[in-house]
C-alpha cells in the first residue's frame, strides 16, 4: 500500500542545550543506554545536531571557533538498538539520504586556533578562522570565499557501533601509551577520557560517571569500529559494513558534513551542519568472520559529483618539508607539502592563504597516496576540480585583473595583514619552537 513517511527515530531540539537531550551522547562506551530500537531491514530518519552541538554561529568573526569547548564534542545521535544484532555480526548500513534542515540552510568550516585544537597546517597557520556556507539545494557558496560554488558530497563524518568493554580497554591502553610517551610536548597527541562535560544520553548518574571515566573520546576514528572516519565519499547511496561488538549493535551517527575534501585538513574542515540522515539497517549474521573484517569497508553510491578527469589540476608533494628537511617515507609530511602547493598556486588569483586552507578542507578535492616505495620520498597528489570556481584557474589562465576575494572570518585581534601567509622557504613563522606532528614519538 505504498510507503508513508519514513519513521523519524531521533529528533533534535535547537532550543535546548545538546547536553540536556537524552537521545544524544558524546563519548563511546558500551553502557550508554539505547536511544531507540530499529528493526532488522528497517529504514529510519535520524536528526543530528552539528558536531559542536551549536557552539558555532552564523557570524563574520571566528571567536566562537577560537573558544570552542572541545570537551563537549562530538554530539552524536543514538546509540540505537538494531534488533537481532550480536557481537561478531556485521551491521550493513545503507545511507539512503543526508539533508540539511530546510529552515537552516547553512554550515561552517573552521580553522582551530593552534592552542585549541589546531589542524594539519597549524604550524604555518596558527590563527582561528571561519567560513560560513549557504546552501541552495545541492549547491553551497560562501560570502567568505567568493567565486566558488560546488555540489555537496554530503555525508556523515561519524558512524559506528559501540565498543565492547574489551575493545574500549584496548583503546585506552594504546592511546594512553602514546600520551605517556609524549607528555612533555606542547601538543596533545591524543585525548584521554574526560569526565568534564560528558554526555551519556539517558544514563543515570552512576553510569554517566563511569562513561566519563572510561568513555573514549569521539575525535579519532578507530580501526575496530570506524567511528570518526571522516571519509568524504561515504555519501548518499553508500553501503557501510560495520563490525558489531555489543548486543543490539548500539549504533550512533553524527558530525554531518555538507562537503569535505580528502583529509579534512583544517580539523573542523568539512562544511559542518545539522541535518537529517536516512539509513537502512540490515544485520549480516557472523559477518565479521565471513568477510574477514578487521575494520569497516564500504561501497560508494552511484551519485558522486563528477568533474571528468581532465577538469582537475593535480598537485604533487613529497616528504621533504618546508624547512628543506628530508623525511623518510613520511606520507603525512608529503600530504602537508601537497596542501602547501595548492595554496601557493591559488594565491595568484587573489585568495589569501587562510581562505585557501579553508577551501582545501571542505571542497571535494581528491587526495591520493601516489608513490610510497621510492626511498626516501613518499609522494602524494591532490586533485583540485577547476569547475568549482566561476573563473578560469587552469594553468593557461591569465589572472589579468584581480577579483575581489573579500576575506574569511578571523578571531578578534587577527587580520589579514598579520596573518602568516608565506609557506615557502623564506617564511618568517610567527611562533617559535613549534613541535611538528612528525616530532611526536610514537
Cβ contact 405:391 at 8 Å: no
- Write the binding mask 71 to 90 for a second copy: x where contact by CB under 8 A, - elsewhere: --------------------
Q: How far is the CB of 406 from a second copy (least distance, A)?
A: 15
Distance (Å, rounded) from C-alpha 90 to C-alpha 160? 11
Q: Is 267 in the site for a second copy (CB under 8 A)?
A: yes
The strand ranges marked E within 295-399 are: 297-299, 312-318, 366-371, 379-385
Q: ∠304-106-98 over CA atoms, to 5°?
A: 40
Q: Is 400 in the site for a second copy (CB under 8 A)?
A: no
Contact region for a second copy (CB under 8 A) — 10-18, 221-229, 245-253, 411-419? 221-229
Angle at which helix 353-362 crosses helix 331-347, to 10 degrees, equals 120
Cβ contact 192:184 at 8 Å: no
Q: Is 251 in the site for a second copy (CB under 8 A)?
A: no
Q: How far is the CB of 399 from a second copy (least distance, A)?
A: 10
Q: Is 269 in the site for a second copy (CB under 8 A)?
A: yes
- Return the residues of window 98-117 that contact a second copy according to CB under 8 A: 102-106
Distance (Å, rounded) from C-alpha 26 to C-alpha 78? 10
Residue with smaller CB distance to a second copy, 299 or 431: 299
Q: Is 96 in the site for a second copy (CB under 8 A)?
A: yes
Contact region for a second copy (CB under 8 A) — 31-39, 199-207, 344-352, 404-412? 344-352
Cβ contact 69:247 at 8 Å: no
- Write the binding mask 184 to 203 for a second copy: x where contact by CB under 8 A, - elsewhere: ----xxxx------------
Q: Is 316 in the site for a second copy (CB under 8 A)?
A: yes
Kindly tell me which residue out of 312, 350, 403, 405 binds a second copy, with binding defined by CB under 8 A: 312
Cβ contact 26:75 at 8 Å: yes
- Return the residues of window 12-31 that contact a second copy according to CB under 8 A: none
Q: Is 301 in the site for a second copy (CB under 8 A)?
A: yes
Residue with smaller CB distance to a second copy, 203 or 333: 333
Q: Is 373 in the site for a second copy (CB under 8 A)?
A: yes
Strand partners, 383: 314, 366
Kindly tell me which residue out of 27, 31, 341, 354 binds a second copy, with binding defined by CB under 8 A: 341
Residue with smaller CB distance to a second copy, 202 or 436: 436
Residue with smaller CB distance to a second copy, 348 or 402: 348
- Return the residues of window 271-300 that contact a second copy according to CB under 8 A: 278, 280, 284, 290-300
Q: Is 134 in the site for a second copy (CB under 8 A)?
A: yes
Kindly tell me which residue out of 226, 248, 254, 275 binds a second copy, with binding defined by CB under 8 A: 226
Contact region for a second copy (CB under 8 A) — 31-39, 47-55, 206-214, 314-322? 314-322
Distance (Å, rounded) from C-alpha 388 to C-alpha 363? 8
Q: Is 55 in the site for a second copy (CB under 8 A)?
A: no
Residue with smaller CB distance to a second copy, 103 or 206: 103
Kindly tell me which residue out of 14, 17, 37, 59 binds a second copy, with binding defined by CB under 8 A: 59
Kindly tell me which residue out of 314, 350, 421, 422 binds a second copy, with binding defined by CB under 8 A: 314
Q: Is 33 in the site for a second copy (CB under 8 A)?
A: no
Cβ contact 80:43 at 8 Å: no
Q: Is 241 in the site for a second copy (CB under 8 A)?
A: yes
Q: How many other C-beta atoms can be found within 10 angstroms of the C-beta atom of residue 198?
A: 22
Which residues have a Cβ under 8 Å from the Cβ of 410 and sit 6 or more positions away? 61, 62, 127, 128, 129, 130, 354, 416, 419
In whole angstroms, how far apart are CA 64 and each of 15, 111, 370?
Answer: 18, 11, 37
Q: How far is the CB of 76 from a second copy (least distance, A)?
A: 14
Cell of 198: 560528558
Distance (Å, rounded) from C-alpha 231 to C-alpha 441? 26
Kindly tell me which residue out of 15, 204, 206, 324 binds a second copy, with binding defined by CB under 8 A: 324
**Closest by CA position to 284, among listed 95, 93, 90:** 90
Three-state secondary-structure class, residue 66: helix
The strand ranges marked E within 300-423 are: 312-318, 366-371, 379-385, 409-410
First to last CA, the chain: 59
Distance (Å, rounded) from C-alpha 111 to C-alpha 119? 7
Contact region for a second copy (CB under 8 A) — 80-88, 197-205, 243-251, 337-345? 337-345
- Return the residues of window 137-176 that contact a second copy according to CB under 8 A: 137-139, 151, 170, 174-175
Kindly tell me which residue out of 19, 332, 421, 430 binds a second copy, with binding defined by CB under 8 A: 332
Amino acid at each position: 500500500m505504498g510507503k508513508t513517511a519514513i519513521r523519524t527515530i531521533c529528533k533534535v531540539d535547537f532550543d535546548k542545550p545538546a547536553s540536556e537531550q537524552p537521545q544524544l551522547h558524546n563519548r563511546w562506551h558500551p553502557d550508554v543506554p539505547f536511544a531507540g530500537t530499529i528493526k532488522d531491514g528497517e529504514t529510519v530518519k535520524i536528526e543530528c545536531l552539528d558536531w559542536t552541538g551549536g557552539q558555532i554561529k552564523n557570524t563574520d568573526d571566528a571567536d566562537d571557533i577560537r573558544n570552542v569547548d572541545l570537551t563537549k564534542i562530538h554530539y552524536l545521535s543514538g546509540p540505537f538498538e538494531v534488533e537481532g544484532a550480536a557481537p561478531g555480526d556485521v551491521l550493513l548500513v545503507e545511507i539512503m539520504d543526508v539533508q540539511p534542515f530546510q529552515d537552516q540552510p547553512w554550515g561552517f568550516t573552521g580553522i582551530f586556533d593552534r592552542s585549541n585544537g589546531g589542524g594539519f597546517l597549524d604550524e604555518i597557520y596558527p590563527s582561528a578562522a571561519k567560513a560560513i556556507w549557504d546552501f541552495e539545494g545541492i549547491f553551497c557558496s560562501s560570502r567568505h570565499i567568493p567565486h566558488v560554488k560546488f555540489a555537496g558530497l554530503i555525508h556523515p563524518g561519524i558512524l559506528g557501533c559501540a565498543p565492547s568493554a574489551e575493545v574500549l580497554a584496548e583503546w585506552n591502553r594504546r592511546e594512553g601509551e602514546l600520551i605517556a610517551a609524549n607528555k612533555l610536548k606542547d601538543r596533545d597527541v591524543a585525548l584521554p577520557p574526560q569526565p568534564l562535560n560528558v554526555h551519556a544520553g539517558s544514563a543515570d548518574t552512576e553510569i554517566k560517571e563511569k562513561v566519563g571515566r572510561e568513555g573514549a573520546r569521539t575525535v579519532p576514528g578507530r580501526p575496530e569500529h570506524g567511528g570518526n572516519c571522516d571519509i568524504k565519499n561515504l555519501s548518499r547511496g553508500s553501503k557501510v559494513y560495520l563490525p558489531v561488538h555489543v548486543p543490539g549493535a548500539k549504533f550512533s551517527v553524527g558530525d554531518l558534513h555538507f562537503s569535505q575534501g580528502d583529509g579534512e585538513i583544517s580539523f573542523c574542515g568539512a562544511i559542518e551542519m545539522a541535518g537529517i540522515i536516512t539509513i537502512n539497517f540490515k544485520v549480516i549474521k557472523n559477518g565479521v568472520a565471513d568477510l574477514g573484517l578487521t575494520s569497516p569497508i564500504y561501497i560508494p553510491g552511484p551519485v558522486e559529483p563528477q568533474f571528468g578527469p581532465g577538469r582537475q589540476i593535480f598537485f604533487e608533494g613529497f616528504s621533504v618539508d618546508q624547512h628543506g628537511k628530508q623525511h623518510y617515507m613520511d606520507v603525512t609530511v608529503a600530504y602537508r607539502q601537497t596542501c602547501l602547493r595548492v595554496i601557493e598556486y591559488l594565491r595568484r588569483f587573489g585568495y589569501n592563504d587562510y581562505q585557501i586552507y579553508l577551501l582545501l578542507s571542505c571542497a571535494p578535492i581528491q587526495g591520493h597516496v601516489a608513490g610510497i616505495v621510492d626511498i626516501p620520498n613518499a609522494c602524494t597528489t591532490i586533485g583540485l576540480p577547476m569547475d568549482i570556481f566561476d573563473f578560469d584557474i587552469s594553468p593557461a589562465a591569465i589572472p589579468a585583473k584581480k577579483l575581489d576575494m573579500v576575506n574569511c572570518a578571523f578571531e578578534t585581534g587577527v587580520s589579514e595583514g598579520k596573518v602568516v601567509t608565506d609557506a615557502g622557504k623564506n617564511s618568517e613563522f610567527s611562533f617559535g619552537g613549534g613541535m611538528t606532528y612528525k616530532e611526536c614519538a610514537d
